[in-house]
């Protein structure tokens, strides 16, 4: 490999394509100490980020919770309509599958229930999203610190695994709140006001399916707290690619935007408060772009499993009121609409998830700056 004499008088090798990739990652952690005009930049602090301290855990959790609440509030009406489409609500099934259907569905909800109808179940959403997003971001930071202790371990697989484990952990602890939120959003009857207590009572007493005459009928619980984990299997199956691809895409696009050739346009100037092992902060528009890309890729990868999950979650509110297994739900969806049935509401999903992810990552990163972490 050819060599050349560097400015420090030492012989160094010409860097190949593989080394260029490392430059992209490296740019996120360090930068030249002089600006383009030769003037010195602000010098970084030599302090390290202690991600295992109680202060960091608390601040990162709160930052994640605030990010989730802000993002969910912005897309609240879209979330309500998407749930109605995915769960094949008889009243709104005619509007699914078209862009105009989104407008008509929102119009009908507004006429029948007012603006509050567009945010039905939103209080339950916020109750669930704060701990969910807080745990997700907090756990991601912790798992990432273990799997990627330094730049040499920064690989796509480790990023994917860190995101997937964070998503699974957050879902496990907050899933019952998700069930309640979806059922509140699915409620469309005008003659009965949906209340948190009534919805919880209904879910608790719904019966799982058992084969007629099966001996399991005498030993299998007919209802109970297990109902609040309805659809948990497809949720976990969908969360693995969704959370994994979300964090992987966000971090990867962020690295591209931190490349030395464009860093002066995409990153914020480093300051004396910038930690030594901390990546350069992206500018607002760049952070929004990386978050939007994360939402787009993650949504596409996990959407069919999300449709199955929604149908299982509202199973007791439609049909004969009995739960279906994941396989039975998938079979029914295919019988009703074919393969396209697994992508019902995907266009709305894009409209919702892209700004959701963009706002979520942006608020999280800016909250970290505000909290000094």
Answer yes or no: is 232 within a domain: yes
Answer yes or no: is 329 within a domain: yes
Which run of H or of E encompasses 146? helix 122-147
pLDDT tens for each residue of 110-159: 888 888 888 887 887 888 899 999 999 999 999 999 999 888 889 999 99
> What's the CA gap between 115 and 123, in Å, rounded?
14
Answer yes or no: is 2 within a domain: no
CATH number of the CATH domain containing 318: 1.50.40.10
> What's the CA gap between 289 and 357, in Å, rounded?
10
Taking the whole predicted model, whether its pTM rises above 0.75 is answered as no
| Number of domains comprising the chain | 1
Question: What is the domain range of residue 139?
Answer: 50-371
Answer yes or no: is 260 within a domain: yes
Answer yes or no: is 217 within a domain: yes
Answer yes or no: is 3 within a domain: no
Please tell me the predicted confidence (pLDDT) of residue 167: 95
> What's the CA gap between 17 and 1, in Å, rounded?
13
Which token pair is 127? 């109750």
> What's the CA gap between 347 and 343, in Å, rounded?
9
Which range is least confidently modeled, 46-55, 62-71, 233-242? 46-55
pLDDT tens for each residue of 343-355: 887 877 788 899 9
- DSSP-derived secondary structure letter, 95: G
Answer yes or no: is 102 within a domain: yes
Please tell me the predicted confidence (pLDDT) of residue 343: 85
Answer yes or no: is 357 within a domain: yes
Please tell me the predicted confidence (pLDDT) of residue 272: 63
Distance of CA 242 to the CA centre of its chain: 7
What does the buried/exposed string (b/e) look like for 246-255 if buried means 16 or more CB atoms within 10 Å of the residue's CB?
Answer: bbbbbbbbbb
- DSSP-derived secondary structure letter, 272: T
């Amino acid at each position: 490999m050819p060599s050349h004499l560097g400015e420090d008088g030492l012989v160094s090798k010409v860097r190949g394509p593989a080394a260029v990739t490392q430059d992209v990652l490296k740019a996120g952690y360090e930068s030249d100490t002089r600006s383009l005009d030769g003037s010195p930049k602000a010098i970084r602090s030599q302090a390290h980020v202690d991600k295992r301290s109680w202060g960091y855990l608390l601040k990162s959790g709160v930052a994640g919770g605030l990010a989730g609440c802000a993002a969910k509030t912005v897309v609240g009406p879209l979330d309500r309509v998407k749930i109605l489409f995915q769960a094949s609500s008889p009243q709104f099934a005619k509007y699914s599958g078209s862009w105009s259907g989104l407008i008509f569905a929102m119009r009908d909800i507004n006429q029948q229930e007012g603006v509050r109808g567009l945010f039905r179940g939103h209080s339950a959403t916020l109750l669930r999203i704060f701990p969910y997003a807080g745990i997700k971001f907090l756990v991601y930071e912790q798992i990432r610190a273990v799997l990627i202790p330094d730049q040499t371990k920064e690989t796509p697989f480790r990023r994917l695994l860190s995101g997937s484990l964070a998503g699974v952990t957050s879902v496990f602890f907050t899933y019952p709140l998700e069930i309640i939120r979806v059922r509140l959003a699915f409620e469309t009857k005008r003659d009965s006001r949906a209340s948190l207590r009534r919805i919880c009572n209904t879910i608790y007493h719904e019966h799982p399916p058992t084969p007629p005459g099966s001996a399991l009928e005498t030993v299998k619980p007919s209802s109970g707290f297990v109902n609040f984990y309805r659809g948990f299997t497809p949720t976990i199956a969908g969360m693995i690619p969704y959370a994994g691809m979300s964090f992987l895409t966000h971090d990867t696009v962020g690295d591209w935007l931190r490349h030395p050739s464009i860093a002066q346009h995409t990153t914020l100037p480093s300051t004396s408060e910038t930690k030594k092992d901390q990546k350069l902060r992206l500018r607002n528009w760049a952070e929004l772009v990386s978050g939007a890309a994360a939402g787009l890729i993650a949504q596409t990868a996990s959407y069919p499993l999300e449709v199955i999950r929604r149908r299982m979650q509202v199973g007791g509110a439609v049909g004969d009121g009995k739960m279906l297994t994941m396989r039975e739900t998938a079979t029914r969806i295919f019988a009703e609409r074919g393969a396209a049935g697994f992508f019902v509401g995907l266009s709305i999903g894009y409209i919702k998830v892209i700004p959701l992810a963009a706002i979520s990552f942006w608020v999280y990163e800016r909250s970290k700056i505000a909290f000094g972490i």
